[in-house]
């Protein structure tokens, strides 16, 4: 071999050595890091589902989000499917367009479906959770110490408190008037709460259900034979009530309506927390101000209608010799009151108008919603819907009116829905083209 061939020989040898070394390094890397290679191969392959068992093949992104830790989950954020405890089922309820009411009024009537809250099935889930959280922050409640939450309620707040008390390590003791629907106290019993049904009495009486709950809590805390404490939730006066709606219900409505595309908000008031909390968020924090009309839906016998319209807390049924019952003269439960609470007062100036709704109108609206929309709700929701219709008819066509569906009709079977049956409304087959305004006695508001 001549010297001139040496570079070619050396080059060929170098390439051969480099190739062999590359193979050895690759094999060694594979042996040393099999898991890394497996991960690489898995990431290259798309997910697939067999068309034999699951229909057409679909490709999905392989990237996965890590499961959030419990501490990072907001109790009002249902986020990506996993929530932390029953508290996580509260909030983010849907906003439903009620077709029949929208068609009858020429406006869009939307209802926040609070009966779909996953803890106690009402807007009181939000309030109960916030009251408990505030009490825990203040050291008034400590899980596992044997503490008991006491509350005076006509039903929904007690149910929400009973559910959340068990979930967070407390007991619940509920005082309620003995003329409330029996299914509410039965449910409370099954939820593990102690239930006291007490005779109806005026708020000035120590035996009034709210006063009695306060006394029970005080006596519990004062007892020397136990380290546990009694906590009086005080939904009527606790500002944790309205702030729950200002922090959650209001923002949800704002977002669901496309950043505040609504013209009116309609709601009833018992404690007053819902209407004032939502009004404060929308009118003040989101600065909708006079562009948003806030309307109180008030049942017969309540004094709030006259307080808003005329500045005087008065109801005609309060006249001596005319009152049939010892509290608000209506079969509607959950809203209507004859005193001003702290939660109502904090946002009273933001309420622009009020609509008075009779028991007859509430019953007819409840039945209408079942027949025309498949919506089965209780008495306070029916009152809200009547007031939403009245409000819509006083506004320009295509206005957007939002109201609240508070709880399911299943909590009102023995009283409200029993009365609907007695009225003969369930015996009638309502035609789909029946005039809603004629049914409610609102023909005078009919649009030209």
Residue 380 burial by Cβ neighbours in a 10 Å radius (0-12, 13-18, 19+): buried
User: What 8-state DSSP symbol labels residue 172?
Assistant: E
Check the CA dihedral 333-335-337-340 and report its sign: positive
Angle between helices 379-393 and 359-373 (to 10 degrees): 90
Question: What six digits make up the tokens of 424?
Answer: 């003969």
How many C-beta atoms lie closer than 10 Å to residue 416's C-beta? 23
Residue located via tokens 């622009």 = 352
Question: What six digits make up the tokens of 166?
Answer: 């068990």
- Name beta bridge partners: 400: 108
- Contact by Cβ (8 Å): 168, 135: no
Judged by DSSP in three states, 196 sits in strand
User: In degrees, to the nearest 5, what angle opens at C-alpha 57 toward C-alphas 52 and 60?
Assistant: 140
- Contact by Cβ (8 Å): 172, 193: yes
Phi, psi for residue 196 in degrees, rounded to 5: -115, 110
What CA–CA distance (Å, rounded) separates 442 from 444? 5
What CA–CA distance (Å, rounded) separates 348 from 338? 15
For 179, residues 6+ apart whose C-beta sits below 8 A from its C-beta are: 200, 325
What CA–CA distance (Å, rounded) separates 447 from 309? 24
* Residue 124 appears among annotated catalytic residues: yes
CB environment 17-33: b (16+ within 10 A), e (fewer): eeeeeeeeeeeeeeeee
Catalytic residue, chosen from 44, 97, 124, 171, is 124
User: In degrees, to the nearest 5, what angle opens at C-alpha 231 toward C-alphas 342 and 244?
Assistant: 45
How many C-beta atoms lie closer than 10 Å to residue 12's C-beta? 10
Question: What six digits make up the tokens of 69?
Answer: 């830790």
Question: What six digits make up the tokens of 279?
Answer: 């009004």
Phi, psi for residue 60 in degrees, rounded to 5: -130, 155
- Contact by Cβ (8 Å): 278, 246: yes
Residues designated catalytic: 124
């Amino acid at each position: 071999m001549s010297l001139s061939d040496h570079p070619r020989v050396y080059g060929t040898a170098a390439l051969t050595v480099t190739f062999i070394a590359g193979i050895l390094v690759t094999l060694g890397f594979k042996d040393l890091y099999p898991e890394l290679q497996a991960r690489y191969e898995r990431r290259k392959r798309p997910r697939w589902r067999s068309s034999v068992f699951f229909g057409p093949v679909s490709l999905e992104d392989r990237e996965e989000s890590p499961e959030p830790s419990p501490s990072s989950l907001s109790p009002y954020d249902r986020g990506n499917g996993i929530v932390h405890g029953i508290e996580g089922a509260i909030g983010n309820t849907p906003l439903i367009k009620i077709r029949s009411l929208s068609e009858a009024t020429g406006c869009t009537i939307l209802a926040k479906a609070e009966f779909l809250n996953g803890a106690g099935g009402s807007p009181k889930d939000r309030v109960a959770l916030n009251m408990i959280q505030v009490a825990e922050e203040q050291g008034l409640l400590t899980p596992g110490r044997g503490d008991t939450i006491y509350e005076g309620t006509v039903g929904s707040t007690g149910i929400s408190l009973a559910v959340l008390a068990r979930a967070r390590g407390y007991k619940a003791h509920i005082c309620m008037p003995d003329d409330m629907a029996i299914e509410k106290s039965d449910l409370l019993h099954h939820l593990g709460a102690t239930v006291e049904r007490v005779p109806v009495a005026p708020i000035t009486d120590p035996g009034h259900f709210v006063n009695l709950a306060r006394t029970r809590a005080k006596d519990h805390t004062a007892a020397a034979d136990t380290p546990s404490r009694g906590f009086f939730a005080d939904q009527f006066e606790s500002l944790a009530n309205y702030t729950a709606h200002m922090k959650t219900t209001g923002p949800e409505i704002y977002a669901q309506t496309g950043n505040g595309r609504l013209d009116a908000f309609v709601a009833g008031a018992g404690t007053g927390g819902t209407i004032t909390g939502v009004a404060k968020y929308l009118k003040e924090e989101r600065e909708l101000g006079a562009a948003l009309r806030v309307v109180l839906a008030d049942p017969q016998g309540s004094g709030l209608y006259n307080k808003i319209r005329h500045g005087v807390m008065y109801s005609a049924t309060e006249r001596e010799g005319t009152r049939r019952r010892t509290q608000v003269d209506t079969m509607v439960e959950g809203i209507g009151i004859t005193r001003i609470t702290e939660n109502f007062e904090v946002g009273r100036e933001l309420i622009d108008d009020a609509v008075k709704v009779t028991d007859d109108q509430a019953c007819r609206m409840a039945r209408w919603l079942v027949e025309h929309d498949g919506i089965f709700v209780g008495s306070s929701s029916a009152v809200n819907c009547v007031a939403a219709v009245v409000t819509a008819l006083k506004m320009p066509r295509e206005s957007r009116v939002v109201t609240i569906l508070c709880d399911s009709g299943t909590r009102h079977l023995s009283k409200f829905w029993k009365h609907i049956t007695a009225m003969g409304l369930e015996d009638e087959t309502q035609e789909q083209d029946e005039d809603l305004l004629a049914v409610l006695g609102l023909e005078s508001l009919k649009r030209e």
